[in-house]
Chain A
Amino acid sequence: MDPMESIKATFFQECDELLGDMEQSLLALEAGEGDSDTINAVFRAVHSVKGGAGAFGFEKLVGFAHVFETTLDAMRSGTLDVTPDGLKVLLRASDVLNDLVQNAKGQGAVDESRVATLKEELEAMVGGGEADDAPEEDWGFKPITLEIGAAAPTSEWTLRFKLTAKMFANGHEAHLLLNELARLGPNEVCLDASELPDFETIDPEGAYFSWTVKLPAETAEADIRDVFDFVGDESIISLAREGGELEAPAPPASAEIIDVQALIRQAKAATPDASELKLAAEGAKEAATGNKDSGVERAAQAGATIRVDLDRVDNLINLVGELVINQAMLAQSVEDSGITRSPNVVNRLQEFEHLTREIQDCVMAIRAQPVKSVFQRMPRLVREIAASTGKQVRLVTDGEATEVDKTVIERISDPITHMLRNAVDHGLESTEERIAAGKPAEGVVRLAAFHRSGRIVIEVSDDGKGINRKRVKEIAVNKGLIAPEVDLSDDEVDNLIFLPGFSTATVVSNISGRGVGMDVVKRSIQALGGRIAISSIPGKGSTFTMSLPLTLAVLDGMVVMGGDQTFVAPLTAIVETLKPKQGDIRNLGPKGAVIAVRGGYVPLIDVGVALGWRTHAIDPTQGVILLVESEIGGRAALLVDAIQGQRQVVIKSLEANYQKVDAVAAATILGDGRVALILDIDEIIASKLRDVQPARMLEAS
């Protein structure tokens, strides 16, 4: 890549980070947190965006950032107050700045009128254009030239020497040596008496002094050394020319520890500055509250991270995936060969398995990312929905540091977006309703993430009116989703909103924005191997909880046999397994059958037939039933020949290596080296149910 192009890529990456942090800072200020440093951090972010944008010639971006920066500068210097209204303008300005950055990146259009409006608003805050815009020539600045290498080709000598007690005992005298040196040319002598002890402890015959002598540049090194001929070379501590052609100050000896903080304090004390008075007051405040992140910590942070190409990490993850498969194959081969009776082999093999798993976990951790990157896009979304619905909403986020694999991160953004849209649009009441109900006018939507039993849980809750169960039931009855006389628990009523066909909006759309169907949300979460649940308290609000696997690279599956083939069924989809009795099976014409499970009927699907490995279903009583759940069409009973066991498998994309195959989600390689297909439970059930009336099936279940 062209170096400028790669720097540009760095710039955009950095911009995204800066803009994200900036929004967090602004939101913190809006929530009444943060201090003068927070507004300064916002200023710095805008300033940095402007600086980089200038280097790449993004004039529009520079222009807007400049106006933005001017306003922020006034705020951080205290000439402009930070008001709630002002912060709202800043937040919108940060959205526009973001748009401009995306536009410079070549993504998305910019609403010019919005840019112009905000520019005016920002300018209005500081009261018109800037005052200090004198041309640089008038600043009266003169560069300070360093006079190096001008006078002589080489620089003067610096000699350090010290006489030991033994040398003095042998009759050598420092003043004689200094006299000799003086004869070589004009010199400068400096005595170092720092080693001289207290009078009480002084050894009268000891030697404590050393001398530093500067000698003319033209002196020959040999002439200097000659002076010490009789004393001995060991008396010379150092003899060197001061610097080279360019003078580089020598760093201090490694033994000498210099406290950077002390140095900074010392510098401030030595050269006071008017602006320090204010800073000193702030410094005292900071000291009182305890220095949050020390320089040491920061240094550690800076040194503790590296940026690595994603390709390399992906490659590593692939290879470790191969290693896991290989380990399983080796274990199988060893078992087949019959040498597992040797305890040594068994122990080593187990150790190997543990190590492989550990390596896999570590490698997956490399690709893990905090959900922050997704969460920080949400405040803007909520602001926009709030504006379009005329509601007052505050978004509270929690657990942004929770980490999850990159493959998951990329795909949770949409479900979260839909859940937040629903929370603001349907969950929260209008401002008037809230006030009438004795609630604060501003509704609160909470977005939280945390880890629970090896999965990531994301919760979206609101303090709105909760689910109107009567209305939900009415709609469900009207749409024929449930029979009017069915008696449902509160929980069951709440879950009706996830049924397909409950909502009129069934298409995922970012434009409509007015509540996409919850069935769509549920489907997209299930596509990720996740589940979603709802709990609601009338008048208090609703909470949607989705739990997702931490990675899409490995999967916990049930290995099953069907039609001479081995398949893997995702464990998350399996509700239970059972051996059917003849009496439980009801045939429905030549095409299908249902099975009675806990008082309801679910369609029976022979996996071998569904995937086309055989034409006739086996006798259900000879096989095993996997009761699987897929909310698209309720439950189904998958008929397989036998269950082999439960196993964690590495997911290999079929689409990337071959093509999309109906009813198959992906593939994996088993311990014996054979390829096994991972079943797409949703699709198997959906295709089966296309023949059957879905509403009736649901009713039956």
Chain B
Amino acid sequence: MPAASALKVLVVDDQMTMRALVRSSLQQMGVSDIADAADGELGLQSLLTRQVNLVISDFNMPKLDGLGLLRAIRSHAPIAKTAFIMLTGRADKDLVVRAAQFGVNNYISKPFTVAGLREKIEEVFGALT
């Protein structure tokens, strides 16, 4: 049973509001190690320089989108095992299917609740303490 405080999370979204919302939700769960990035490229750069075990990323971003980021992570051995949860809009089935093809761990639709996000994280890591 992993402790929420042991999670190191990277939030990738081009929208500041969304980054703030995810960050605030994570903080309410007891996660304190949270970094963020404004697009896939910056996210990837961040992943290469710090320890992260969960990436929560938006899909549609400039430069490098969420799928691109996911694929880059999965194909680079040192970070390939990082858990990845994709943030999607409602009714984005096509995207979820493609993300699954590239090994996404889970997805969450916007708008989400704190409980909803926690559930999605727990589906990946097991119950958080």
Binding site for B on A (CB under 8 A): 3-4, 6-7, 10-11, 14, 41, 43-44, 47-48, 50-52, 54-55, 66, 69, 130, 132-134, 136, 139-146, 148-150, 244-252, 258, 260, 263-264, 266-268, 270-271, 273, 295, 298-299, 302
The answer to whether B16 and A14 touch across the interface, beta carbons within 8 angstroms, is yes
Q: Which of A4, A51, A148, A258 contacts B125 (CB 8 A)?
A: A148
* Given A41-B62, A246-B2, A267-B72, residue A10 in contact with residue B16 (CB < 8 A): yes
Which residues of B are found within 8 Å of A50, using beta-carbon distances?
A: 89
Q: Which of B64, B74, B90 contacts A271 (CB 8 A)?
A: B74
Interface 1/0s, chain B 36-59, versus A by CB < 8 A? 001101101101111111000000
Pairs across A and B, CB under 8 Å, 13 listed: A3-B24, A7-B24, A43-B60, A47-B60, A51-B110, A55-B21, A133-B91, A149-B1, A247-B81, A251-B48, A251-B51, A271-B75, A273-B98
Add 15 more A-B contacts to A41-B62, A263-B76 (CB < 8 A). A43-B60, A47-B89, A48-B14, A132-B93, A132-B94, A143-B123, A148-B126, A245-B3, A249-B78, A250-B51, A263-B44, A263-B75, A266-B72, A268-B68, A299-B42
The answer to whether A299 and B97 touch across the interface, beta carbons within 8 angstroms, is no
Which residues of A are found within 8 Å of B45, using beta-carbon distances?
A: 260, 299
The answer to whether A267 and B75 touch across the interface, beta carbons within 8 angstroms, is yes
Q: How far is the CA of A242 from the CA of B14 in the complex (A)?
A: 33
Which residues of A are found within 8 Å of B79, using beta-carbon distances?
A: 249
Which residues of B are found within 8 Å of A299, using beta-carbon distances?
A: 41-42, 45
Min CB gap B73→A, angstroms: 8
A-B pairs with beta carbons under 8 A, tally: 170
The answer to whether B78 and A251 touch across the interface, beta carbons within 8 angstroms, is yes
Interface residues of B in 3-21 (CB under 8 A from A): 3, 6-8, 14-18, 20-21
Which residues of A are found within 8 Å of B105, using beta-carbon distances?
A: 143-146
The answer to whether A144 and B51 touch across the interface, beta carbons within 8 angstroms, is no
Min CB gap B41→A, angstroms: 5
The answer to whether B2 and A302 touch across the interface, beta carbons within 8 angstroms, is no
Binding site for A on B (CB under 8 A): 1-3, 6-8, 14-18, 20-21, 24, 38-39, 41-42, 44-45, 47-53, 60-64, 67-68, 71-72, 74-76, 78-83, 89-91, 93-94, 96-98, 100, 102-107, 109-112, 120, 123-126
The answer to whether B53 and A248 touch across the interface, beta carbons within 8 angstroms, is yes
Q: Which of A132, A149, A268 contacts B71 (CB 8 A)?
A: A268
The answer to whether A244 and B6 touch across the interface, beta carbons within 8 angstroms, is yes
Q: Which of B42, B63, B75, B104 contacts A144 (CB 8 A)?
A: B104
The answer to whether B15 and A139 touch across the interface, beta carbons within 8 angstroms, is no
Min CB gap B86→A, angstroms: 10
The answer to whether B110 and A252 touch across the interface, beta carbons within 8 angstroms, is no
The answer to whether A246 and B42 touch across the interface, beta carbons within 8 angstroms, is no
The answer to whether A271 and B93 touch across the interface, beta carbons within 8 angstroms, is no
The answer to whether A141 and B89 touch across the interface, beta carbons within 8 angstroms, is no
The answer to whether B102 and A146 touch across the interface, beta carbons within 8 angstroms, is no
Min CB gap A37→B, angstroms: 8
* Given A55-B110, A299-B42, residue A252 in contact with residue B63 (CB < 8 A): no
Q: How far is the CA of A636 from the CA of B68 in the complex (A)?
A: 70
Q: Which of A130, A251, A264 contacts B72 (CB 8 A)?
A: A264
The answer to whether B91 and A130 touch across the interface, beta carbons within 8 angstroms, is yes
The answer to whether B120 and A146 touch across the interface, beta carbons within 8 angstroms, is no
The answer to whether B83 and A146 touch across the interface, beta carbons within 8 angstroms, is yes
Min CB gap A505→B, angstroms: 42
Q: Which residue of B lies closest to A56 (CB)?
A: B111
Which residues of B are found within 8 Å of A148, using beta-carbon distances?
A: 2, 125-126
Q: How far is the CA of A3 from the CA of B80 in the complex (A)?
A: 34
Min CB gap B30→A, angstroms: 14
Which residues of B are found within 8 Å of A66, using beta-carbon distances?
A: 90
Q: Which residue of A lies closest to B3 (CB)?
A: A245
Min CB gap A544→B, angstroms: 38
Q: Which residue of A lies closest to B41 (CB)?
A: A295
Q: How far is the CA of A134 from the CA of B90 in the complex (A)?
A: 10
Q: How far is the CA of A14 from the CA of B82 in the complex (A)?
A: 30
* Given A51-B111, A145-B123, A267-B71, residue A246 in contact with residue B44 (CB < 8 A): no
The answer to whether B44 and A252 touch across the interface, beta carbons within 8 angstroms, is no
* Given A248-B51, A302-B38, residue A141 in contact with residue B126 (CB < 8 A): no
The answer to whether A260 and B41 touch across the interface, beta carbons within 8 angstroms, is yes
**A-B complex: 5 closest residue pairs judged by Cβ atoms:** A54-B111, A143-B123, A11-B17, A248-B51, A143-B106
Q: How far is the CA of A245 from the CA of B1 in the complex (A)?
A: 9
Q: How far is the CA of A14 from the CA of B61 in the complex (A)?
A: 15
Min CB gap A158→B, angstroms: 13
Interface centre among B41, B102, B124 (most CB of A within 10 A): B41
Min CB gap B95→A, angstroms: 10
Min CB gap B46→A, angstroms: 10
Q: Which of B41, B94, B97 contacts A264 (CB 8 A)?
A: B41
Which residues of B are found within 8 Å of A43, using beta-carbon distances?
A: 60
Which residues of B are found within 8 Å of A146, using beta-carbon distances?
A: 81, 83, 105, 124-125
Which residues of A are found within 8 Å of B14, using beta-carbon distances?
A: 44, 48
Q: How far is the CA of A165 from the CA of B5 in the complex (A)?
A: 46
Which residues of B are found within 8 Å of A142, using beta-carbon distances?
A: 100
The answer to whether A250 and B78 touch across the interface, beta carbons within 8 angstroms, is yes
Q: How far is the CA of A43 from the CA of B60 in the complex (A)?
A: 9
Q: Which of A48, A245, A302 contacts B18 (CB 8 A)?
A: A48
Q: Which residue of A lies closest to B48 (CB)?
A: A258
Q: Which residue of A lies closest to B103 (CB)?
A: A144
Q: How far is the CA of A249 from the CA of B8 in the complex (A)?
A: 11
Which residues of A are found within 8 Å of B104, using beta-carbon distances?
A: 144
Min CB gap A259→B, angstroms: 10
Interface centre among A69, A245, A246, A266 (most CB of B within 10 A): A246
The answer to whether B15 and A51 touch across the interface, beta carbons within 8 angstroms, is yes
Q: Which of A41, A145, A266 contacts B75 (CB 8 A)?
A: A266
Q: Which of A69, A145, A273, A302 contacts B126 (CB 8 A)?
A: A145
Min CB gap A531→B, angstroms: 40
Q: Which residue of B lies closest to A275 (CB)?
A: B98
* Given A10-B16, A10-B20, A143-B120, residue A247 in contact with residue B42 (CB < 8 A): no
Which residues of B are found within 8 Å of A47, using beta-carbon distances?
A: 60, 89
Q: Which of A55, A244, A250, A270 contacts B111 (CB 8 A)?
A: A55
The answer to whether B24 and A4 touch across the interface, beta carbons within 8 angstroms, is yes
Q: Which residue of B lies closest to A66 (CB)?
A: B90
Q: Which residue of A lies closest to B38 (CB)?
A: A302
* Given A130-B91, A264-B44, residue A51 in contact with residue B18 (CB < 8 A): yes
The answer to whether B124 and A249 touch across the interface, beta carbons within 8 angstroms, is no
The answer to whether B50 and A251 touch across the interface, beta carbons within 8 angstroms, is yes
Which residues of B are found within 8 Å of A44, using beta-carbon distances?
A: 14, 60-62
* Given A146-B83, A247-B53, residue A302 in contact with residue B103 (CB < 8 A): no
The answer to whether B48 and A246 touch across the interface, beta carbons within 8 angstroms, is no
Q: How far is the CA of A260 from the CA of B76 in the complex (A)?
A: 11
* Given A55-B21, A132-B91, A141-B96, residue A149 in contact with residue B2 (CB < 8 A): yes
The answer to whether A246 and B21 touch across the interface, beta carbons within 8 angstroms, is no
Which residues of A are found within 8 Å of B3, using beta-carbon distances?
A: 245
Q: Which of A143, A149, A250 contacts B124 (CB 8 A)?
A: A143
Q: How far is the CA of A251 from the CA of B48 in the complex (A)?
A: 5
Min CB gap B122→A, angstroms: 9
Q: Which residue of B lies closest to A268 (CB)?
A: B71
Q: Which residue of A lies closest to B49 (CB)?
A: A251
